Amino acid sequence: MKFELDKYHRDTSDEELIADLKRVAKELQKSPTYDEYNEQGKYNSSTLWRRFGNWFKVLEIAGLSKNRSPLNIDKEELLRNLEEVWIKLGRQPHYKEFHKPLSKFSSGTYARRFGSWRKALEQFVEYINKELDVSTEKEIKKLKAEIGTRHKTKRDINWRLRFLVMKSDNFIGRRCGRSPATDPKIILHVDHIKAWANGGETVLENLQTLCSKCNIGKSNML
């Protein structure tokens, strides 16, 4: 196959660019997002926003309604999605891997929301690591037990602590060694080693990664 450069669109008229955007909108039956146009448009979305100023301006000129901006997406929603992809892959995800169906949001969305893909990863790590300040046996010694439960921690495992536990277990089930990275059907859970009902606390040292089947099996043995 002959090697060729990508087509050069600087001389494409405004009318042609807008017409193609409208075509994609008609096919989707809604205003396309930046990433949706990249997938289905004849041109690259960056060609349009450089020509007209920004994506909202492009939609306005085309007479289309403005869609959800990456800047308006809740930060925690983006970070939780990043966590889910990281768990599925069993490692730090790469820029080119962030697309549907693996990820709800594209890598471009993260780059625009946080300033760059690298900055998105850095904020994720910083946000996750804050959980260590409150979720270890050493840290909860400073807390007083609740009178009603006699526990120093809540039973529920938040998503940041869940990620830390899975990461410490290399994103595989402790009992079976299975992982969604090698079998997408595998679903990982985080469970108390010493049951919360028996006095176990929700701390890093008392939590383990189990696949859904092993977790159900453990419950049946109790």
Indicate the residue type of 1. M
First vs last C-alpha separation in the chain: 63
Q: What is the pLDDT of residues 37-95, one digit of tens each?
A: 888 898 887 788 778 877 778 888 999 887 666 655 778 889 999 999 999 999 999 99
Q: What's the token pair of residue 154?
A: 């809540």
H or E element at residue 192: strand 188-192
pTM, two decimals, is: 0.67
Which stretches of the chain score pLDDT less than 70?
1-10, 67-72, 218-222
Q: For residue 101, is the peptide bond before it cis, meaning its omega torsion is within 30 degrees of 0? A: yes
